[in-house]
Structure 1
């Protein structure tokens, strides 16, 4: 491993171990972040709201030393740090803050995560709300404007429904 620098890294964990790994990291006093979303699940006899990770099998870990790096990796359920080539996936503090703000806002609904690249559409910039300043592409699904915000360091997309008044068309500017 190359020398770790302080910052947020992406820890890949076993399927359905996200909460267990997060709790274990907290008990080791290692700062971690696990964004959760509520989803309605339907069974034949009932409906129930359940929490699930926004990014399945990922837990974000704030590394302050090489010791923290290896202690987090030694937690039961942790598999490896996500890498792109020879570099570990590192998330900026700003991106962590924006995801955290997104999770706490009630006017943004229907949050989905996708690893597929956005379809061809209008290039927009969000000018209001917790995601202001981020670029996005627009798609239409069931007459709802869905904003796809690509978080580059994760190489994944967040799809969220937000009011169209929060958008600025970068192509017409």
Structure 2
């Protein structure tokens, strides 16, 4: 069975994961502990590692059954197909979050000037520099090929 990514309403990740488990659907919502400070106190709070994402492991034929749960908006798609996450990647997330050395984790978007290596698509294994970040695309400079690449991500 494949792991898929469902997109949830903002701040509904834990509720959606609980409801999916009640329906017998295997899901995973990676949580991290953060210290939140209010004007009168500090408190440790578990927050999702990925905002608005929950991973579900479900047979392809039963994918639509997740929409019984309130708070699920849609599946995350990649190249026109539902995004599939490998078991190894889920296990890596689980293993790394259990590590006692992790004190603070954040998932941040690319910033202008970041050097990245493309891991899929026609330009796989190419090094690139992020030149521009917009609301729905990145502009990358592929120095070895001498070209600029504009990638839409939403």
* TM-score relative to the length of structure 2: 0.70
Cα shift at 1:51: 0.8
Note the alpha carbon deviations across 1:129-168, whole angstroms, 9 max, x for none: xxxxxxxxxxxxxxxxxxxxxxxxxx8xxxxxxxxxxxxx
Which runs of 4 or more aligned residues in structure 1 lie more than 6 Å from their structure 2 counterparts after TM superposition? none
1-side partners of 2:115 and 2:11: how far apart?
33
SS in 2 for 1:32: strand
| Paired residues of 2:35 and 2:42 also in contact (CA < 8 A) | yes
Structure 1: runs of 5+ lacking an equivalent:
1-5, 124-154, 156-173
- Write out aligned runs for 1:52-131 (5 A): 52-67=47-62, 69-116=63-110, 119-120=114-115
Q: Given the alignment of the two structures, is residue 34 of structure 1 paired with residue 32 of structure 2, yes or no?
A: no
Report the Cα offset of residue 43 of structure 1.
1.1
Aligned length: 117
Q: Deviations over 1:100-123 (max 9, x none)?
A: 0011111122211112268238x9
- Counterpart of 1:25 in structure 2 is 20
Per-residue deviation, 1:73: 2.4
CA–CA separation in structure 1 for the residues paired with 2:42 and 2:102: 22
Structure 2 residues without counterparts, runs of 5 or longer? 118-152
* Cα deviations by residue, 1:80-117 (Å, 9 ceiling, x for unpaired): 00012312111000000000001111112221111226
